[in-house]
């Protein structure tokens, strides 16, 4: 992939902007355990990372002798939002990273819009994005399909080839690459087997991501 200037940065939400993944998976494990499912939080985090929740619940059901209740998703989301509102924090260094950018930014997440706004609001990160927040639940097309990132680029009026994607999951990085965008995978200390490699740049910190983008495009002098 040729290196072009950066004109927009598109962020996934969970695990990239906010440290929410384990909080959500703990809620899922606890509610599922009460119904007879046996899930390990760490295994659940790895297995369900970046995937649509409806598909995750199908996997949960496969560990059980009876189906999940019809209202389980509603029960889960209510408990999840309460836990996130109380416990979620910003990913270390992400606020400084966003502040250093001199290009438009957008959130494009597989999560529900209510969840995105809950976590961004609880951490104060929402002020950087305004209305530039896209949820796959609004379009019905989920990562690894590139649709969400292409919509984000279109909203900002930027050529996909001049967008950078910030991701932390296999479905997300796959979507970024398929959209024709340079994709930064934030995977601190993680096993990266299974991730696409062409067009993907792996980093262990937001400082590393900032430095990488600085080599592609001009940052605000105050943050460079």
- CATH fold group of domain 21-87: DNA polymerase; domain 1 (1.10.150)
pTM: 0.86
- Is it the case that residue 2 has pLDDT exceeding 70? no
Q: Which helix (H) or strand (E) holds 160?
A: none
Q: Does domain 8-19+89-214 have CATH number 3.40.50.1000?
A: yes
Same fold, 8-19+89-214 and 21-87: no
What does the domain layout of the chain look like in residue ranges? 8-19+89-214, 21-87
Beta bridge partners of 183: 165, 200
pLDDT tens-digit series, residues 48-96: 877 788 888 888 888 887 888 999 999 999 999 999 999 999 999 999 9
Q: What is the pLDDT of residue 126?
A: 98
Q: What is the pLDDT of residue 118?
A: 96
Q: Which helix (H) or strand (E) holds 108?
A: strand 105-109
Q: What is the pLDDT of residue 117?
A: 97
pLDDT tens-digit series, residues 122-174: 999 999 999 999 999 999 999 999 999 999 999 999 999 999 999 999 999 99
The CA distances from residue 82 to 25, 31, 47, 89, 179, in Å, are 13, 14, 23, 14, 34
- Is it the case that residue 42 has pLDDT exceeding 80? no
Position with higher pLDDT, 167 vs 34: 167
């Amino acid at each position: 992939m040729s290196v072009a200037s950066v004109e927009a940065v598109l962020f996934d939400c969970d695990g990239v902007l906010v440290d929410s993944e384990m909080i959500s998976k703990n809620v899922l494990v606890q509610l599922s355990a009460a119904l007879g499912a046996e899930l390990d939080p760490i295994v659940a985090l790895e297995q369900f990372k970046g995937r649509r929740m409806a598909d995750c619940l199908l996997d949960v059901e496969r560990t059980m002798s009876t189906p999940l209740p019809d209202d389980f998703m509603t029960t889960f989301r209510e408990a999840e939002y309460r836990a996130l509102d109380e416990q979620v924090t910003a990913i270390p260094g992400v606020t400084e990273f966003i502040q250093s950018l001199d290009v438009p930014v957008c959130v494009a997440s597989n999560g529900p819009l209510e969840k995105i706004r809950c976590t961004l609001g609880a951490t104060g990160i929402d002020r950087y994005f305004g209305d530039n927040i896209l949820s796959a639940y609004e379009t019905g097309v989920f990562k690894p399909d590139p649709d969400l990132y292409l919509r984000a680029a279109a909203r900002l009026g930027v050529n996909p080839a001049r967008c950078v994607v910030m991701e932390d999951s296999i479905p997300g990085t796959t979507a970024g690459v398929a959209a024709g965008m340079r994709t930064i995978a934030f995977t601190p200390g993680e096993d990266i087997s299974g991730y696409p490699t062409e067009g993907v740049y792996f980093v262990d910190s937001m400082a590393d991501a900032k430095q990488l983008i600085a080599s592609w495009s001009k940052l605000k002098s105050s943050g460079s």
